[in-house]
Amino acid sequence: MTVADKQRLRQVRSAILGNRPDTSVSNALYPVYVAVIAAASYGVPAAQQLFRSLDGKWLAAHAWTPVGAIVALSFTAALLALVPLVGRVHGPVVPPLPYLELVVDSPMPRKVTLARNWQLSFGGSVVGGLLIGAVGGAGLAIAKVVAPVVLMPATVCGALIGVLVAELWLQGQVHSTPLALRPDSSLPRGRRNALALLDITGLKRQAASNATIGGAVLAGDLRTARLDAARPPTHARQVHLRPSGPLLVIARRDLLGLRRAPWSALYGLGLAAAGSAGLMLSLQSPRTPTLAPLVAMILAYLGFGALCEGLRLHADNSGTSRLLGLAYRDTALAHLVVPVSAWAASAAVVSLPLYMTGLLRPSAMVWALGAGALLAGAHLMASFRGLPPAGVFGPRAGVPAMIFWYSKPLLATLVLGTATAAWGARSATPWMAFSWLLIAAAGIVQWGLKLVDKRDRRS
Amino acid sequence: MLGRRSAAVPAVREPVSHALRATGVGKKIDEAVLLLPTDVELGAAECVVLRGPNGSGKTTLLRILAGTMSPSQGEATLDGSAVDERHDSTRTTIAALIGAPATYRDLTLVDHLVLIDSTWGHVGKPAADRADEILELLEIDHLAQRFPHELSSGQQQLFHLSMVLVRPSSILILDEPEQRLDPDKRDLLTAILLDRKDDGSGLLIACHDPVMTAALADSVVDIRSE
């Protein structure tokens, strides 16, 4: 940035601020201060408790093995691979709409007008990574999983990952802009010129989406946030929905929806396969750490959820003119046919090679089917939960209450799925644990159906 | 499947005489009067048009007669029983377009019509044929493979009308169906609705278009405002 550029930007900022003092530095530093306090007072104790509860001895034995390193690297790489996707929906450089209209749209260089937003996001990402590294390192050291000396490299690694996250985030935003990859563009490409490659249409779209999503999150309306973030489908328009019976056509609708969102289908099937395999393998030995079924249930929940778009759309459509000739509850149940079948199919596919190599007993497949019922009930709950009650926004409740309210389906799945799997793996009578899994699944399905009926009555 | 012309309006239920009646129906929420007491009577093969200024309560009356809202006073009945959308028989008899219906963002126009038709129990090839016929009828068959978010506002309105027309019904309730349509499309819609009436459907329509009203209405109910 040249001296002249700095001078012009200063003029712009003073015009925006008017007579008010420039508090931008303190505004940027305050969240850092709060994050540091929160990390030290809540993050470190929570992290060390988490590592202790996840079988600290097992973690200590495996942390420094090649397998442990591969798992850690794979996990980090998977997270980094997701970052550009986030940038496509919400990038690191999203100034407010008036600033875009009046300043960024002016002849001033984009590298100048967008520099401050980029620096803030970059700084936030680096500080965030640093704090996560420090909290994780401290938690591992206090739980005696690793030596205290690991704290420093963990912090540095966290900061470096923060740098990578920021760069990948920006690249994701650049690639989402309509003009960014135009072959006839004379603008130089590359990391250094990334800010100049951001076009005004893409920036405005993200700024508008930012306002919608931000408002929706503050209001506890995740449906609006989800629909705003999702890309409208345009694939496979030439494939038609085949006519069939009333219930079958709903399942066919969901299959067609997945065909038109192939990445969602692949992601769902992949996670469902990984989750079901992890769950079935975790039942094979009483020495399996509780962490294994917990991670497996998280993957299973995410995978099953990706296959439930039809169910969520049915819940979204409540309250409008009814055109379908099916009862509301029947339609909701019909929307579960595809995700439950896909879950069962992916579990069967992954169990076959595991069974043939002697890693799995056939009874594990039955367990996976029981877990499928639990997942179906949890996603009924998640799709039809509606908006949080007013009490969640009260002065005594706050953000944790809202997060808890939204997380109920996930928490129910994790607690019940993990507890019964851990019990089943350690018990001499695993059928007893399986019976409790089925009872819990039936309860969760009933809870979900109650929410469906409640939404039906309100619409 | 596409490209054929058909003058048929295929979604009329077998002609059964149904009577939709509002007797002294009014709606109040606290002190706010949404609808002053009003009488309406609709029989088979008959069209009643509701007229009145904005805010007079036309949509409220349509909602009450579609069974999605209960009146504060008076009585709304379908064949002598209180009209209630939760009854299967009400939903089977009445098809309503009051506000924009929900659409699936991952289905094309023709998929929506096949889905609706299939859920009403039409199995096999006719569902796809009927979907095509409805799209042709409304002259939007060239949009069959578009997604709802790829339509203009007028095309959206025609698509919404197609979703109501494709499902079987004996009574059609439409809230300002002429909205956002150009004059040619209004003429087309008028012709389609006249065909439905001739086939035995009862039509209850809130309408601001005097030409459509004159062409369709057997009787006009002027809704008073406070």
How many domains is chain A built from? 2
Asked whether residue A237 is assigned to any structural domain, the reply reads no
Q: Is pLDDT at A185 greater than 70 in this prediction?
A: no
CB contact under 8 A, B115 and A241: yes
Asked whether residue B13 is assigned to any structural domain, the reply reads no
Given pLDDT bands bounded at 50, 70 and 90, which one contains residue B48?
Answer: very high
CB contact under 8 A, B111 and A244: no
Lowest mean pLDDT among A68-77, B7-16, B116-125: B7-16
Asked whether residue A390 is assigned to any structural domain, the reply reads yes
Look at residue A231 in the predicted model and tell me its pLDDT.
73
Look at residue B96 in the predicted model and tell me its pLDDT.
92
**pLDDT winner (highest mean) among A107-111, A182-186, B171-175:** B171-175
H helices of A177-308, in order, are 194-197, 200-218, 222-229, 246-260, 262-282, 291-306
Given pLDDT bands bounded at 50, 70 and 90, which one contains residue B37?
Answer: very high
Chain B: give the shortest CA distance to residue A29, in Å: 42
For the CA atoms of B63, B65, B71, B73, the dihedral, rounded to the nearest 10 degrees, stands at: 140
3-class SS of residue B18: coil
Q: Residue range A304-329: average pLDDT?
A: 85
The two structure tokens encoding residue B139: 């002259």
Residues of A in contact with B161 (CB under 8 A): none
Mean pLDDT, chain B, integer:
88
Lowest mean pLDDT among A139-153, A172-186, A297-311, B186-200: A172-186
The percent of residues in chain B predicted with pLDDT above 90, rounded, is 67
Asked if B205 and B177 count as a contact pair (C-beta separation under 8 A), the reply is: yes
Identity (one letter) of the amino acid at A75?
A: F
Residues of B near A (CB-CB distance < 8 A)?
A: 1, 85, 88, 91-92, 95-108, 110-111, 114-128, 145-147, 149, 163-164, 167
Domain holding A308, by residue range, is 246-458
Q: Answer yes or no: do A253 and A377 share one domain.
A: yes
- Rounded (5°) CA angle A445-A451-A456: 125
Look at residue A459 in the predicted model and tell me its pLDDT.
64
Residue A229 vs residues A117, A146, A208, A213, A446: alpha-carbon distances, Å: 21, 40, 11, 8, 30
Instruction: Provide the 8-state DSSP code for A322.
Output: -
Residue B209: CATH number of its domain: 3.40.50.300
Flag whether the ipTM exceeds 0.85. no
Q: Is pLDDT at B9 greater than 50 in this prediction?
A: no
Q: Answer yes or no: do A203 and A321 share one domain.
A: no
Domain holding B215, by residue range, is 20-222
Q: Is pLDDT at A443 greater than 90 in this prediction?
A: yes
Q: Residue range B94-109: average pLDDT?
A: 88
Between A377 and A75, residue with greater pLDDT: A377
Look at residue B6 in the predicted model and tell me its pLDDT.
40
Dihedral angle sign, alpha carbons of residues A378, A381, A383, A386:
negative
Q: Is pLDDT at A286 greater than 70 in this prediction?
A: yes
Distance from C-alpha of B131 to C-alpha of B194, rounded to nearest angstrom: 20
Q: Residue range B25-34: average pLDDT?
A: 90
Strand partners, B219: B48
Q: Answer yes or no: do A161 and A194 share one domain.
A: yes
Asked whether residue A238 is assigned to any structural domain, the reply reads no
Within 10 Å of residue B191's Cβ, how many Cβ atoms? 14
Asked whether residue B130 is assigned to any structural domain, the reply reads yes
Asked if A288 and A274 count as a contact pair (C-beta separation under 8 A), the reply is: no
Chain B: give the shortest CA distance to residue A256, in Å: 8
CB contact under 8 A, A244 and B123: yes
Within 10 Å of residue B14's Cβ, how many Cβ atoms? 7
Residue A165 vs residues A67, A86, A261, A265, B124: alpha-carbon distances, Å: 24, 10, 26, 26, 52
Q: Is pLDDT at A183 greater than 80 in this prediction?
A: no
Between A419 and A319, residue with greater pLDDT: A419
CB contact under 8 A, B127 and A325: no
Asked if A422 and A416 count as a contact pair (C-beta separation under 8 A), the reply is: no
The two structure tokens encoding residue B218: 């057997």
The two structure tokens encoding residue A285: 């030995």
Within 10 Å of residue B108's Cβ, how many Cβ atoms? 25
Residue carrying structure tokens 């942390």: A63
Question: Scanning every residue of chain A, which has its alpha carbon at the shortest distance from the alpha carbon of B107?
Answer: A257
Asked whether residue A180 is assigned to any structural domain, the reply reads yes
H helices of A2-150, in order, are 3-17, 24-38, 44-53, 56-63, 66-89, 97-99, 110-113, 115-142
Asked whether residue B52 is assigned to any structural domain, the reply reads yes
Distance from C-alpha of B168 to C-alpha of B47, rounded to nearest angstrom: 18
Strand partners, B203: B47, B172
Distance from C-alpha of A21 to C-alpha of A154, rounded to nearest angstrom: 39
Question: Scanning every residue of chain B, which has its alpha carbon at the shortest distance from the alpha carbon of A315?
Answer: B102
Look at residue B2 in the predicted model and tell me its pLDDT.
34
Q: Answer yes or no: do A413 and A266 share one domain.
A: yes
Between B14 and A376, residue with greater pLDDT: A376
Given pLDDT bands bounded at 50, 70 and 90, which one contains residue B14?
Answer: low
Lowest mean pLDDT among A48-52, A251-255, B24-28, B165-169: A48-52
Look at residue A26 in the predicted model and tell me its pLDDT.
81
How many domains is chain B built from? 1
CA A134, chain centre distance (Å): 23
Q: Residue range A77-103: average pLDDT?
A: 87
Q: Answer yes or no: do A321 and A225 share one domain.
A: no
Chain A: give the shortest CA distance to residue B124, in Å: 6
Q: Answer yes or no: do A205 and A320 share one domain.
A: no
Given pLDDT bands bounded at 50, 70 and 90, which one contains residue B43?
Answer: very high
Q: Answer yes or no: do A287 and A397 share one domain.
A: yes
Edge-to-edge strand order for the sheet containing B73-78? Answer: B32-42, B20-29, B73-78, B81-82
Between A230 and B177, residue with greater pLDDT: B177
Given pLDDT bands bounded at 50, 70 and 90, which one contains residue A219?
Answer: low
Mean pLDDT, chain A, integer:
86
